[in-house]
Amino acid sequence: MTRSPKIIISFFAIAFIFVFSFAAGVLVGSPADYEGDADLKAVEDAWRIITEDYIDKDNVDTGELSRVAIEAMMDLIDDPYSAYLNAQAWHESMKQLEGTYEGIGAEITVDEDGMVVIIAPYVGSPAEKAGIKQGDKIIAVDGVSTEDMNHVDVVLKVRGPKGTPVTLTVFRPEENRNL
């Protein structure tokens, strides 16, 4: 029976040494030790040079620098269902999940040309009542072109409290005209 406490103490001592060694390695390790993506290291190096060595570094808005970098990455992957949301857009999207906002009543997607396309208006929705049809392309929302908008941007622009007016400029390919 006297061996049992010694074994338990030895086990905990070994476990402590293992956990301590692992934690120390994580804390002491530096980004230079990371054998991950060399391209990410290049981005980190550029960030460091801009924020530490750039001649006008005091006038660099690091928040804006981050936002632009993220937006550029999102644009490059060219996925119509992925988008960067700034804090305001994120809060707006969270309000929509609470059910306080409604939309035009249509399912939309982005086609291979980057155009926002109506998949289908919902039965009885404002979109259906306005004559929106499957295949229509939304080219502007409230007079603002959707050319540089992603799927999420358009969804956020056409949603609002019930009864909120929104003006869509729609191109109907089958008739080759704007509506």
Global model pTM greater than 0.85: no
φ and ψ of 3, to 5 deg: -75, -30
How far is Cα 36 from Cα 18, in angstroms, rounded to an integer? 24
First-to-last C-alpha distance (Å) of the chain: 89
The pLDDT tens digits of the residues spanning 132-173 come to 999 999 999 999 999 888 777 888 888 877 788 899 999 988
Q: What is the pLDDT of residues 31-69, one digit of tens each?
A: 555 456 788 888 888 888 888 888 888 888 988 888 888
Decide: residue 124, CB within 10 A, 0-12 exposed, 13-18 middle, 19+ buried: exposed
